[in-house]
Amino acid sequence: MRIFDPHIHMTSRTTDDYEAMHAAGVRAVVEPSFWLGQPRTSPASFFDYFDALLGWEPFRAAQYGIAHHCTIALNPKEANNPRCTPVLDALPRYLVKDGVVAVGEIGYDSMTPAEDTALAAQLQLAADHGLPALVHTPHRDKLTGLHRTVDVVRESNLPMERVLLDHLNETTVQHAKDSGCWLGFSVYPDTKMDEDRMVEILRTYGTEKVLVNSAADWGKSDPLKTRKVADAMLAAGFGEDDVDQVLWRNPVAFYGLSGRLRLDVPEAEGLHEGNSILRGGE
């Protein structure tokens, strides 16, 4: 079984996770730019983070036979912090990089005017750079947020079929599907979606344009949720081709819209004693 986790924050995960993910069948990930728990205070802090997503993290992933790409953006929450917003001016120099396969995560957190501005500006950046967009839908006041998100995307220069609406659930999936966007679901231990509800969604709405991710980060989350959804699908009577579509072909098709997806992992150079991450001197 081959698995593509289209949304996971590996910066917050250990090498044990990479090893377990590879053993579970994960061969490719996309790491979206997001907030870090602790608020940032300047654009320079974003630059170091973006550099890691384009340098250190793909190197770490390659040690474990996993292809790593990223999405770059100013996230919705920090779009409200005037100390952070100048990072918008620097995004073009990152959006041309080979490892960047979308603009994201953009979208709404608290639905403020500052978030309106950042979302519209970054949808335009995606259109200008030939990139699709990964759009986070808000956790609070979710259905209203989903409607507002779809309205803003519709008014932008980015076609709906180049947008992935993420963190959907039972209350938002129908409107999201009607919009023509790609449909993303995050499967979590306690919040967001779980495996069995995910299977029900797939039964009801089908497998077309549906992506499932672990969204694993620094909170309570599980980088193996993609595999657990695959197992739940098989147990519920879905075929292996359905699993391959949701957990491999759909994310490949969506991020492939960038023309920058590279799924052959370069042979990890200098594997140290077989499998441990290199530390440059222990």
As measured in angstroms, the least distance from the Cβ of 253 to another protein is 17
CA angle (151 as vertex; 146, 152 as ends), nearest 5: 100
Q: Is the CB of residue 238 less than 8 Å from the CB of residue 210?
A: no
Residue 22 sits in the site that holds another protein (CB under 8 A) = no
Residue 48 sits in the site that holds another protein (CB under 8 A) = no
Among 56, 128, 139, 203, binds another protein (CB under 8 A): 56
Which residues, at least 6 apart from 105, have a Cβ–Cβ distance to it below 8 Å?
32, 33, 34, 71, 73, 75, 76, 134, 135, 136, 166
Residue 128 sits in the site that holds another protein (CB under 8 A) = no
Residue 54 sits in the site that holds another protein (CB under 8 A) = yes
70-89 positions binding another protein, by CB under 8 A: 89
Q: Is the CB of residue 64 less than 8 Å from the CB of residue 24?
A: no
As measured in angstroms, the least distance from the Cβ of 263 to another protein is 11
Nearer to another protein, 169 or 258 (CB): 258
Which residues, at least 6 apart from 59, have a Cβ–Cβ distance to it below 8 Å?
none
Nearer to another protein, 69 or 136 (CB): 69
CA distance 89 to 74: 10
The binding site for another protein (CB under 8 A) comprises: 51, 54-56, 58-59, 89-90, 92-93, 96-99, 259-260, 262, 266, 269-272, 278-282
